[in-house]
Amino acid sequence: MYVDRKWDDQMSVFKIVVSLIATMIISAAITPFVRRLAFVLGAVDNPGKRRVNKVPMPTLGGLAIFLAFTFATFVLLRPQFNTHLMFSLFLAESVVIVTGMIDDIKELTPRQKMLGLFIAALIVYFLAGVKMTQINLGPIHFQLGWLSLPITVFWILGISNAVNLIDGLDGLATGVSIIALTTMGIIGFFFLSVAEVGTSIMIFALVAALIGFLPHNFYPARIFLGDTGSLFIGFMLAVCSLQGLKNVTFISLVMPVIALGVPVTDTLYAIIRRLLNHVAISQADKHHLHHRLMQLGLTHRQTVLVIYGIELVFAMIALLYPLSSTLGNVLLTIGVLFGIEMFVELIGLLGNNRTPLLFMIRKIVHKLNK
């Protein structure tokens, strides 16, 4: 009996691995067709002041990822998921994809895009039942009650837009998302409850679709993610992380944030920068992380690879949280925050004159040298 169960488990893992490989192949195979469709529909990114592409570039790349991911979850990996959850999420995903496609073809305003994400978030909350319900941070333990809805919606909108904002270079958002999602999938598979294994498999299916798409999207890209892709990936990152945040603990709250270190950091400091400059938060600029690195002299490809490396550091740190004690987690968080602020000031993400931490360190060193 033990041998049979072990054999069944091995076959199940084998089928999942084969399905994930098939998802990569499907994603890679359908991307050229989506590229042609983008030209037909007029979903093309033309060169401009805020664009890095020198020639018209088709968008809608996210549609290929969505189709491959949907085929994987509904056909190849169907037994792994709850039926009600799958169809509810599919409805929400479709709203995000349609919103992104309209934006790639006709260009929506930020409010219109937020409306599409807001509707999708409501579907996730009320229909799929994916939400934050209570907080358990050591001695602090309380039910969120009516706050559950706004916090859940804020989480989804925030993460979705974070990925959207870093989609500025060939392969950047795709590669960073692969690293972040893989980290979340590993954490969910090995450190969370058995009930969350299905979420990890869903995450790996999305990773497989992204890996299949990446060769078409990496520098020099032949197709962009477009808002169709960046909003969809960000939305799925948010929803999948919420699956582990139903009962919020310090670790479950911090791990996905750290795993998403690059987009979260870039978005947070973009908001701070715009507030300090007294401009609208939604106003675009060329001072994001990838812009600053290129302004410091890195090439397009080098910038992408450096940011991949930074995201890998965040991923490694996120994997340390479930292995550390409570004190270790607190110290780790303090160290991460210190490191982020130091890095941000060194590259001038907020501006060359806004370096309070570096100023304080120089002042201390100056006094010690007297």
Whether the model clears a pTM of 0.85, i.e. scores above it, the answer is yes
Cβ neighbours of residue 281 under 8 Å, at least 6 residues apart? 271, 274, 275
227 marked ligand binding residue: yes
- At 58-96, the pLDDT tens digits run 999 999 999 999 999 999 998 888 888 899 999 999 999
164 marked ligand binding residue: yes
Residue 101 has pLDDT above 90, yes or no: yes
Alpha-carbon dihedral 352, 355, 359, 360, rounded to 10 degrees = 180
For residue 333 the two structure tokens come to 């968080």
Give yes or no for a contact between 250 and 79, defined as CB atoms under 8 angstroms apart: no
Distance, CA of 49 to CA of 170 (rounded, Å)? 16
Give yes or no for a contact between 239 and 96, defined as CB atoms under 8 angstroms apart: no
Distance, CA of 320 to CA of 323 (rounded, Å)? 5
- Most confident residue range from 25-29, 254-258, 351-355: 25-29
In 3D space, the residue among 129, 118, 127 whose CA is nearest the CA of residue 242 turns out to be 129
Looking at residue 221, the DSSP 8-state letter turns out to be: P
Beta strands in 237-309 (DSSP E): 247-248
Looking at residue 147, the DSSP 8-state letter turns out to be: G
Residue 295 has pLDDT above 50, yes or no: yes
Per-residue pLDDT averaged across 155-161, rounded?
91
Cβ neighbours of residue 206 under 8 Å, at least 6 residues apart? 65, 69, 181, 233, 236, 240
